[in-house]
Structure 1
């Protein structure tokens, strides 16, 4: 029953993944496209709002800048100001004329709450429309004159003016008053104070956003007048709104659009919920389809599992018959199961018979087995007999042979230290000297640092054997073998050299061709195979030789093995 449930779970999971993966991919791409579309829409709306706000502000500022320019070029105003500065004619009459002109301009142009003229001689002429006075005002004659470099200068006021128990925020435009007959003669400065409501109205671009006018980070015009004078960074809510800023080239102030993200976030969540509903509906539909489609197949599998359980209990008479409406594959499984049961029953009978024969064979093998220790003890006995008869050369050879047998039999194919491998090679060379009929001088150049590194056993023996068997055959004079080792980059470079007969060029070429099977050089072929088995592509071997002079074998093996302690 556990296997049935496991199979059902795996099939269900597989079908669900097959359905959910494309749905998930579709959902991800839909979400990405929706976000991109909504972002493009909201960015387009913001760009349009910013452009409209900038144009409307330019129009309002142009309107009042034109009024200011007309004042500064009006002959009556210029002549009256000159007379007041030079104290000509009747000062009171001129002052009255100028005040009348200012009041007339204020009353004729809605939005202008006051006009102030600062004369070069220090005099101040003003009209306060908020209080309908040109002689008594708490603000019109106390205006800070902004710095004017060219044309008009703009100034936002963050402290409200109270008139008729109402707080009024102002926006000021200032211009130098110059005698146009003599442009180098400055007469004073004209400052027009307009109601901030005019600026606010110009910045309104739609019901779903708000626009602010900032002097650096200070609010000088806002939908809510209580926000004027505050730092805009403290008013921002970047979680619920998106803020976009641009500089108004005419005034130098910053237009900031506040676009609520509520509709954007709502659309995103609606899409997420919609995709979740689709995914849930897909899962439920797939579960129903999986159950209806897999039920007959799982019942057929159940019958096979029941049959297997019967076979496990030793009932080889059991047979399974899949329903006729099952696919050919299920029927073939059932037929194969029945054939397997018959075959297993036959095999069990054969195994029972073979077990009896095997036991008899094992008894015979145990009786015929020779204990390796018997060989070592026998060689030891021969060694002592040779010593008793003063046959010390034979004794040395027998002892070397015993050591060689122990070395090769113990942990065959395993690793040893380079020190132990070189010690074994010396005893091997001693036995080969007896066969060769003369001594061989061994030149060993291996640093103490390398002696502790690991190497596979009997890896160097075939090279020594080739030197003794082929290199020194029929050679006159001294026979020498050189063994040197040095560390490279991640490898030990081993060189085994003899001064023997050398190797003919055609044979040398075959030795260096890894695809060649060398007759008479089985040891070298085995070394190549062992290197491939032990180290893979990290080891290499090649030969160089001069006929009648020398043969040199180069062996490269990695030194990843542990060093001796």
Structure 2
């Protein structure tokens, strides 16, 4: 294995790709063929289960809505005082009013039956089992097909529901009478209470009977050869099934221990029910259920989990044939691709070799195939151009640095000499009571000390503003207050760090080139705030004579790298320093016309030392 690995490592990239393509195409195909049956079977079972679950949820929802439709009829009866009031003389056996009450109740029930399809009959029983009903099978309120009155009385139905405040759903019953046919009848029961005398208990109960086939029509369309749906109650009675000639059945449960069963018990009994009656012939069955109507009724779905796999053997043969064809195609494609890769790689390496020897090489995309290799060639071409540009800029920067060093040597005047001289002149002015001159000299000395010491250092905004105010004051004194000045700054920004001398050249540019303007009073306006992008925004505006459009365009598109910054003053000096200090994180914009000039620059807030 080690020899094989070493041999593989020594191959060219194209041959490695060819070998890897062969291995990665044939081996996975073989693995897929081996695992296909299990994986596909799992997918089929999972998806079938999901579909069955969705079908179960839909059936459960539809069946619950079906029951609630009949429950609304019941609700309309037990909330209508008409029925409880008419039952009072019936329960008292008051013959003077009884027959009239029975007649009125019967008419109401007949109207309800005809207005609601699927209802076989509605009956109202009093406390002594006196009955008022209407039967749509017999179309009569005298003879009943749906209601076995003697059986209801003997079963003490009233006693069973007297403590139940909810609707009760009784099991299905198969009823056959000559002349009327055979029906699987289902019943919904609810007690009747006079709400004005609620403490006295129920005054009777109402039973609604409907045809089981109405319920069967809701879910039977979803039954297939692989799954069936049953409806059972929590007492173990199968109350609906889509079997041919089906009659109500009971599930096999231990009824001696309890009368109400859990969902799991119902599921196991339903599975046994399907197997015993051979509704589904296979043994690999799975049951799912969902409780509705406060778990009084369960919708059960029994599924043959292997049904979807019966014809899968034919699919497996087709997959094997397709896999073999895919393997052949992969081999051909790998061979063709490896040749293309080899040709492109050789060309790229040759160009790179020539470039490393000092040649200015560019790759021709026409000599390369493949998107990735074309991207490499484009990146290589851009990189060589950037290197050339970087070398050019580096040469310019080195020249500028040398010129700056020479100028720094030429400008080395002892600052202490200047300070001491200004201090001597200041005291002479004080001796002669020239206090205005003394103040100007003091401010001039402070300005010189601020500007000379560390001209590129970083200070807090409040220090820069102190210097700027002194500078403006000196200019106002010098120009005999020929202009007004307004400075607005958000005090919350005083702690922000800023490079020195960024605003003074802009103010000086305004005083030298902007004033006097066309207005009666020259005004200088400075505003410092925080922008929406969390940057420090500095605005220097005036109402002076403005700039020429070509100069505005030059400053807005100024290329500091192509200019001699060390000899530049004013606005261009500020632009160059902004680019050197902050790069693309800063911005500078000039707006000017005959009514004045507005300069807006933005720099990052925060620790400016990180931007150097």
Q: TM-score range by the shorter chain?
A: 0.3 to 0.5
The normalised TM-score by structure 1 is 0.43
Task: Report the structure number with the largest CA radius of gyration.
Answer: 1
